[in-house]
Structure 1
Amino acid sequence: MTRIIYLFGSAAPPVFDVARVIEDAHSRGWDVCLGLTPMAARWLGGSVSSLEALTGRPVRWEYKLPGEPDVWPKADAILLAPATFNTVNAWALGLTDRFIVGVVAEGIGKSIPMAVMPCVNAAYAQHPQFDRSLGTLSKAGVRVLYGEGGFVPNQPGQGRPESYPWELALDTVEELLGPKS
């Protein structure tokens, strides 16, 4: 049985590698639904149609209208990566004006296995709300991949998108789901 993963991404440089991540997820036997923040969708605008062809599903960044059918199957797990400072804080605070934040906020109440891997620079990481937000998400049952054993922030302007630990994020989702039945 194929498992459904919602792969959600914010506008941080590692999002440009999302096609490779989708291919990796497919090689692990997952069916991928890709959701983005509006800014990440703008960044990937020229490749949205190829990402839709790769996933076989619409890429989403907006809520559907009332009465419209849902175009995605139910998620078995959700991975939010890269997750920006804004996305992490909005999720923890329950500010659901953006599609992916609304889905993950509701996902807590639905007990969907979820992991988040931030992508922030060291200056953002010093803001007191960031640690509170990560703690809130962790206490809500979200696996937070941050710090040693996850994403480690760089100094502003010194990011290395190619070193973003995507494989760790996908491994974590596999761990959350356990063995295939």
Structure 2
Amino acid sequence: MLGVVASGAGGVEGLFDGLVRPALDAGWRVGVTLTPTAGRWFRDKGLVAEIEEATGLPLRVDSRLPGEPKPHPPVDTYVVAPATANTVAKLALGFGDNQALTQVSEAIGTDGVEVVVFPCVNAAHVRHPAWPGHIANLRSAGVHLVDGEDVWPLTEPRSGEWHPIPWRAVLDAVDGTRP
């Protein structure tokens, strides 16, 4: 089972065609959880039904109430793509202030559960003095990072430069977690 988690970064609208559909085609069972911002974007753009129909599972944004059944089966691999700088920082520090972050934070460091993260960040995020520590924390916990200039060339904020999300590189990293 692949748990797809996405945050509200530019390009997230391509999640279905770029990651969910190819993962389904590759034989993964897929459950999708979005951060509150991404969830609002998907609802506003009418993208929820297509994902739910294809996966056969509800798209999650909100936490379930006590006593409600778990809407997704247990996950073998989580992929967080795109992950904003905020999402990366919270995962590195163990914060789970929404459903998407809670499930991935609980998975990091858990035997038998792989975590892949694609940081969708700009040059200013990477220059921040806390950034190297966040990346080091995730790597030391065994998180697979999809990063580097060959995957995601950094641009300056508000420069007008934009790169499409490297969905193929993300899916390759996910497929690399299969036993």
**TM-score, normalised by the number of residues in structure 2:** 0.91
Q: Give 1:18's aligned amino acid.
A: L
Match of 1:19 among 16, 22, 38: 16
Give me the whole-angstrom Cα distance separating, in 2, the residues matched to 1:143 and 1:17.
Answer: 22
Aligned CA distance change for structure 1 residues 101 and 177 (closer, same or farther; 3 Å): same
Question: Which residue is 1:133 aligned to?
Answer: 134
Q: Secondary structure at the match of 1:82?
A: strand
Gap regions ≥5 residues in structure 1: none
CA shift for structure 1 position 159: 4.3
Rounded to whole Å, the distance in 2 between the matches of 1:117 and 1:61 is 19
Structure number with the higher helix fraction is 1
The one-letter amino acid paired with 1:140 is: A
In structure 2, distance between residues paired with 1:66 and 1:161: 41
State the SS of the aligned residue for 1:79: strand
CA contact (8 A) 1:34 1:60 kept: yes
**Is residue 9–residue 83 contact of structure 1 (8 Å, CA) maintained in 2?**
yes
Structure 1 residue 108 displacement after superposition: 1.7
Tell me what 2:162 maps to: 160
Equivalenced residues, count: 174
List structure 1 runs of 4+ shifted beyond 3 angstroms.
none
Cα distance in 2 for residues equivalent to 1:28 and 1:124: 33
Q: Is the 8 A contact 2:151 2:166 kept in 1?
A: yes
- In structure 1, the residue matched to 2:123 is 122
For the residues of structure 2 that align with 1:173 and 1:50, how far apart are their CA atoms? 22
8 Å contact from structure 1 (residues 117, 151) kept in 2:
no
C-alpha separation in 2, matches of 1:50 and 1:161: 25
RMSD: 1.4
Tell me if the contact between 2:109 and 2:142 (Cα under 8 Å) persists in the aligned partners.
no
Q: Scaled by the length of structure 1, what TM-score is found?
A: 0.90
Structure 1's 8 and 159: CA in aligned 2 closer, same or farther, altered over 3 A? Answer: farther
Matched, 1:6 2:7: no
Residue by residue, what CA displacement relative to the aligned partner does 1:39-81 show, whole Å, maximum 9, x if unpaired?
Answer: 0011111211222112111111121112211011111111001
Match in the other structure for 1:72: 72
1:36 to 30, 34, 37: 34
Which residue pairs with 2:92 in the alignment?
92
Query: For residue 86 of structure 1, what is the amino acid of its counterpart?
Result: N
Q: Deviations over 1:139-174 (max 9, x none)?
A: 001011122454332221334242x21111111111
Paired-residue identity, %: 36
Deviations 1:99-139 (A, max 9, x none): 11111111024231111011011112211122211110110
Residues of 2 paired with 1:77 and 1:26: CA distance?
14
Q: Please tell me whether residue 176 in structure 1 is matched to residue 173 in structure 2.
A: no
**CA 18–156 in structure 1, closer or farther in 2 if over 3 Å, else same:** same
- Distance in 2 separating the partners of 1:94 and 1:24: 30
Q: Secondary structure of 1:128's partner?
A: coil
